[in-house]
């Protein structure tokens, strides 16, 4: 806990008020994504997104809905975190994994082809559902 110093209005003295800081364990979250086969680690230790092959046979709508559930779950669980902005890295891996999953489904080779076809939010043309990545990850205490 880091004390936050405030001036007392009555006495004019500086008073230390302890402030609790809770952080989201980003490395642990990435390891859980690795166990779930959303990301992989190459031989040099670099983390890379990968296609989530168990859901390739689902529709575009169901794939995006499954990834949205992961994103909303992380946002709700770590809503209190002081380092909530660090979740942007995790969300990028999930977006890339979703794009690679759709690429495998449609027999395309790269994420770029998927982003060119469906846009950055991977919007489904028939159902209008899109991957919802939050615009801002401001801490709310």
Q: Render pLDDT for 14-30 as a digit per residue (tens, 0 to 9).
A: 666 666 778 899 999 99
In a domain, 11, yes or no: no
Q: Render pLDDT for 79-112 as a digit per residue (tens, 0 to 9).
A: 888 888 899 999 999 999 999 999 999 999 999 9
- Residue 103, token pair as written in the block: 């690429």
Exposure string of 117-128, with b = 16+ CB inside 10 Å and e = fewer, is: ebeeebebeeee
**Placement of tokens 């006495």 in the chain:** 11
In a domain, 12, yes or no: no
In a domain, 1, yes or no: no
Separation between Cα atoms, residue 125 and residue 62, nearest integer Å: 13
How many domains does the chain divide into?
A: 1
Question: DSSP per residue over 78-131, as a string?
Answer: TTT-TTGGGHHHHHHHHHHHHHHHHHHHTT---HHHHHHHHTTTT--TTT----
Residue-number span of the structural domain to which 139 is assigned: 23-141
């Amino acid at each position: 806990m880091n004390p936050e110093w405030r001036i007392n209005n009555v006495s004019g003295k500086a008073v230390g008020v302890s402030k609790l800081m809770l952080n989201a364990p980003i490395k642990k979250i990435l390891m859980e994504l690795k166990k779930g086969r959303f990301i992989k680690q190459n031989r040099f230790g670099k983390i890379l997104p990968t296609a989530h092959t168990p859901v390739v046979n689902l529709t575009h709508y169901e794939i995006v809905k499954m990834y949205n559930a992961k994103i909303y779950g992380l946002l709700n669980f770590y809503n209190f975190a002081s380092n909530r902005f660090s979740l942007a890295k995790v969300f990028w891996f999930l977006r890339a994994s979703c794009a690679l999953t759709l690429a495998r489904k449609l027999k395309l080779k790269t994420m770029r082809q998927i982003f060119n076809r469906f846009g950055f939010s991977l919007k489904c043309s028939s159902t209008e559902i899109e991957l919802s990545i939050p615009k801002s990850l401001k801490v709310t205490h």
